[in-house]
Every structure is written in C-alpha cells, then in structure tokens.
Amino acid sequence: MINTGLKDKVVIVTGANHGIGAATALAFASEGAKVFINYLRQPPDTYGETKESAEKAANPGRAYYCKMISQSADNVIRKITDSGGDCGAWEADLSEPDNIPELFNLAEKKFGKVDVVVNNAAFDSPDTFIPEKELEKNPFFADEYMMHSLTSDSHDNHFSVNSRGAALIMAEFARRHIEHNSTWGRIINITTDGARCHASNVSYGASKYAIESYTRSAAVELGPYGITVNVISPGAIQTGWITKELEKDLAKSYPLRRIGTPQDIAHAIIFFASRQADWITGQVLYVGGGNRM
C-alpha cells in the first residue's frame, strides 16, 4: 500500500457537486483528507432544457447533463460523511472575486489551514468564430449542444471562471500559505486536452490554455515556498454529457478504446497531491487514454 501522505490534509475542490470534482472529493476523503467542496448549481436552461426534461432524463446526453449540473453537493457530502470522512461545502459563484477569499475563510474556519487546492470548476457554453448566419446551417457541437458565435459576453463568461477565478484562487492560496510559514502545498489545475486548439468551443479552450500558462509561472514563483503546481489535462470524460452513440464513436479513436471516467482523473489528481509527486511541478499530464501524447 502506498502512503500518499494526505491524511488530515485540508483540501479545497471546486466544481465538486458532480463529475470530476465529485469523484476527486471522494478520492481525497478516502485518503483521510479533510475536504471542503465548492460548487454552483446551473439551471437546466443553461443548455436549453427544462427542469422537467432534466429530471426525467435517464441516459447520458444534454438533458441528463443538465440534471447533473443542477444538483446540489448533498450526495457527495453524504457519501463522505457516511464513510467516516470530514467534509464541508459552500455554494458560490467563482466569477465573483469577493467569493474567493471567503471560500478560504470558510474552509479554514471548518478545518484549519488549506494544504491543497484543486481548480476544477468550469463554465462551458460552446462558441465559435463562424458567423451566426453560417451556424444556422450547422449549429450543433457534439450533435447535442448549440454553438453560438463568439461575443464579448461568451468570452468573458468563460474567462471569469476558468481563468480568472482559478488564478485568483492560486494567488489567495499562495498568500495564506506564505503568511502561515507553511512549507508544503499543492495546486492542481484541471484543463482539457483540447486547450491548445479547441475548434467549435474556442473560448472554453482558450480560457483553459491560459491556466496552463499560469501554472508554469506559479510553479517557478511558488516552488521556493514548497508549493508544487501542476495541470491535469483530461480527454473526453463521461460526466453525463456524452450520448451513448457519441461515446462509441469517440472510443474508436482512443488508443485505449474507451473514453474516461471521473475516477480516472481523480486518481491522477491524487498522485499530483501525494508525497510521491514531491519533485514534480510545472507539468501538464495528459490523462486521456492516449488521445493526446
């Protein structure tokens, strides 16, 4: 058995009411860490569904994904506490800068000094450089989700959470870490293996690529303070958004012949947080069944 050294560490995981964030929170709890969850429920009409259609959905696809993103973190919290773990939670929008120091205030009040941050929260509404008139001929992304032409709002909505929110969390963590005279810390940022070029989802990809740059800079600057900063870059992960038909098609193109699960990403996050990764920083790890090498 490998001792990850995570027992009693205090961990913040953002976007943890479903999918990768939920699996990550559960994985840290299983290692004996104290987990503080941040999440933000998104209404089903974010992707054109109604509350009724989302509630009825039973199979992966747009309606089912809307069901997942509109739920609270209660199920995750219950699983952690039922297994004897320690968990706290706060629902808050990370596009609001004032919420970020408050997130740390609440986590410290609940558990004490934060040791690990996982920046997983994300906003994603596919946009493109193709004009709206052209989109009328073929408006869909992944056959389920409507694309829109890029606007200032679509740009800012992605960057306010995916880039600025994550960067401000990194800065807040660093400030408190140094004030506490701490000597060990972890920042793990979640991007996408389409970050370098994400046609049909341009603002999402670009906002995630910005975090990869922030990660490298932070790794250089914060290394002397004992903080490692790394990126997990997932391939396609079944968090409820991929229809069964699309999943089969995607799997054929992946060397390992399947798409990923939230647990696949959680395992990699635990590695970067563990003592086994003490001498690894500033790295992007592609976790996608060989989709990108």
In this prediction, residue 2 has a pLDDT band, given cuts at 50, 70 and 90, of confident
Catalytic pick from 204, 209, 214, 225?
204
Q: In this structure, is the dihedral angle defined by the CA atoms of residues 102, 106, 111 and 112, taken in order, positive or negative?
A: positive
Q: Residue range 123-137: average pLDDT?
A: 94
Please give the model's pTM, rounded to 2 decimal places. Answer: 0.96
Cβ neighbors of 257 (< 8 A, separation 6 or more) are 251, 289
Q: Please report the pLDDT score of residue 246 as a whole number.
A: 93
Element containing residue 204 per DSSP (H, E): helix 202-222
Q: Residue range 67-86: average pLDDT?
A: 96
Q: Are 41 and 68 in contact (CB under 8 A)?
A: no
Radius of gyration of the chain (CA): 19
Q: In this predicted structure, which of 5-9, 59-63, 90-94, 219-223 has the lowest mean pLDDT?
A: 59-63
CA distance 9 to 33: 5
Burial class (CB in 10 A: 0-12, 13-18, 19+), 240: buried
Beta-bridge mates of residue 227: 185
Q: Residue range 19-33: average pLDDT?
A: 98
Q: Please report the pLDDT score of residue 1 as a whole number.
A: 66
CB atoms within 10 A of CB 155: 15
User: Does residue 142 register a pLDDT over 90?
Assistant: no
| Annotation says 204 is catalytic | yes
Please give the span between the terminal C-alpha atoms of the chain, in angstroms, as a whole number. 29
Beta-bridge mates of residue 187: 117, 229
Residue linked to tokens 């609440």: 106
Q: Please report the pLDDT score of residue 144 as a whole number.
A: 83
Delineate the domains of the chain, giving CATH numbers in brackets: 10-280 (3.40.50.720)
User: Does residue 98 register a pLDDT over 90?
Assistant: yes
CA distance 61 to 39: 21
Q: Residue range 70-83: average pLDDT?
A: 97
Q: In this predicted structure, which of 38-42, 133-137, 228-232 has the lowest mean pLDDT?
A: 133-137
Q: Residue range 6-27: average pLDDT?
A: 98
pLDDT tens digits, one per residue of 187-242: 999 999 999 999 999 999 999 999 999 999 999 999 999 999 999 999 999 999 99
Q: Please report the pLDDT score of residue 75 as a whole number.
A: 97
Percent residues over pLDDT 70 in the chain: 100
Q: Are 212 and 284 in contact (CB under 8 A)?
A: yes
Q: Please report the pLDDT score of residue 48 as a whole number.
A: 87
Question: What string of DSSP letters covers 43-96?
Answer: -GGGGT--HHHHHH--SSSHHHHHHHHTS-SHHHHHHHHHTT-EEEEEE--TTS
